[in-house]
Amino acid sequence: MKLPVYLDNNATTPCDPRVLEVMIPYFSDIFGNAASRNHSFGWQAEEAVEYGREQVAGLIGAEDKEIVFTSGATEAVNLAIKGVFEMYASKGNHIISVTSEHKAVLDTCKHIERLGAQITYLQVKADGLIDLNELHDAITPQTILIATMYANNETGVVQPVAEISKIARKHGILLFSDATQAVGKIAVDVNKDGIDLMAFSAHKLYGPKGVGALYVRRKDPRVRLTAQMDGGGHERGMRSGTLNVPGIVGFGKACALCLNEMKNEGDRLESLRDKLENGLIKIGGIHINGNVQQRLPHVTNLCFEEVDGNNLLVSIAKNIAVSSGSACTSASPEPSHVLKAMGLNDQRAHSSIRFALGRFTAEEQIDYAIDHINKVVLELREWNQFIGAK
């Protein structure tokens, strides 16, 4: 078995070889600009982009024209929140979000707060879910947007998006969801879920880095946005810039593969995830963070009592790749804001590790991870007891 074992698939996934295969011709042979309408090089590129758009839309139950390509989920988040804030300013300036959101959402909300937006940050319960009654009570006549992630990137907890949508629709409020971790892992349907805007990214579902999408509803209601990048009017005027044709081709193929393989893959990963949890929990002093019923099939976040999470990460880093939270905040010494929002104290938050399995995770790797991590955890606890005794 090849080491190290990669169990950090929420940070990024490897590009599926089948995805890479369809991308390669678009770097050299079919290299045209999709906006070049006067010759065959441009026509070929445009055709590839539109086919990719169709594949991406098909994964989430959307129409082709409702997909706006971006450089990734972070740009899509910015376009959605800032675009709604500016476009609907005459209606109101109040946005509701959640304390456990990804920093892309929280930092964007902080930015528009400085521009005059009023933001309500809902707390989450101990299991990571929001209280729908608190959401309802937070709505004001000035509320124009509810921004809540579909599935949390650190715990895998899945919010009741369809129920949130019913509340939003009742009050004529738009619903935006950062579904970066959910799309391609579980069934996400923008119409069944009642989502008006949704961000997601190719590199979280075995596609290339540097390309993502924002779903923008075209009817019932028709959502309008103020562009955040100007210069040519690409993507129906919402996002200017030369399109990443190879990336879009790969994104489309990745979505098509997920559509066909997601159900079986989810069942397989859930079984492996449960095996990992049971194998680690048996040594005692280990707890699952977050709701264990409403969560992604491939993710678990575990608190290791009497072990510093950073020490555990360093001790296993050569052999097993995991993380203490979002890759975007991995350089921060602060405990996870997601776990803190769920009520964990600093010590327990610092003692928590995220495991995210993926398409290329094998059972023998899980067996190895269980044995190796259990050994390291016991060694670290013995060392802590020795230091404490001195």
Query: Which tokens hold the place of 385?
Result: 């007891």
Q: What is the pLDDT of residues 20-39, one digit of tens each?
A: 999 999 999 999 999 999 99
DSSP states of 203-221: GGTTS-SS-EEEEE--SSS
Q: Which bin fits 176, alpha (ψ -120 to 50), beta or left (φ > 0)?
A: beta
With CA atoms as reference, report the closest residue to 285 among 223, 210, 377: 377
Contacts of 383 (CB under 8 A, 6+ apart): none
By DSSP bridging, strand 174-178 and strand 197-201 are parallel
State the CATH class of domain 5-12+262-389. Answer: alpha beta
CA distance 339 to 194: 28
Confidence (pLDDT) at 237: 87
In order along its 390 residues, the chain shows pLDDT tens digits of 899 999 999 999 999 999 999 999 999 999 999 999 999 999 999 999 999 999 999 999 999 999 999 999 999 999 999 999 999 999 999 999 999 999 999 999 999 999 999 999 999 999 999 999 999 999 999 999 999 999 999 999 999 999 999 999 999 999 999 999 999 999 999 999 999 999 999 999 999 999 999 999 999 999 999 999 999 889 988 999 999 999 999 999 999 999 999 999 999 999 999 999 999 999 999 999 999 999 999 999 999 999 999 999 999 999 999 998 765 555 567 899 999 999 999 999 999 999 999 999 999 999 999 999 999 999 999 987 656 555
Confidence (pLDDT) at 383: 81
Confidence (pLDDT) at 331: 56
Confidence (pLDDT) at 263: 97
Residue type, 227: A
Provide the H-helix boundaries in the chain: 17-23, 25-28, 40-60, 73-87, 103-113, 132-138, 161-170, 245-281, 309-316, 337-341, 346-350, 363-389
**From the centroid of its chain, how far is CA 252?**
18
B/e letters for 278-300, b = 16+ CB within 10 Å, e = fewer, are: ebbeeeeebebbbbeeebbbbbb
Residues of the chain with CATH 3.40.640.10: 17-256
Q: Among 15, 109, 255, 328, which one carries the catalytic annotation?
A: 328
CA distance 234 to 243: 8
**From the centroid of its chain, how far is CA 253?**
19
Confidence (pLDDT) at 38: 95
Query: Which tokens hold the place of 110?
Result: 């902080």
Q: At the topology level of CATH, where does 17-256 sit?
A: Aspartate Aminotransferase; domain 2 (3.40.640)
Query: Which tokens hold the place of 246?
Result: 């190879």
Residues of the chain with CATH 3.90.1150.10: 5-12+262-389
CA distance 208 to 195: 25
- Residue 15 bears catalytic tag: no
CA distance 152 to 101: 7
Q: Environment class of residue 22 by beta-carbon count within 10 Å: exposed (0-12), middle (13-18) or buried (19+)?
A: middle
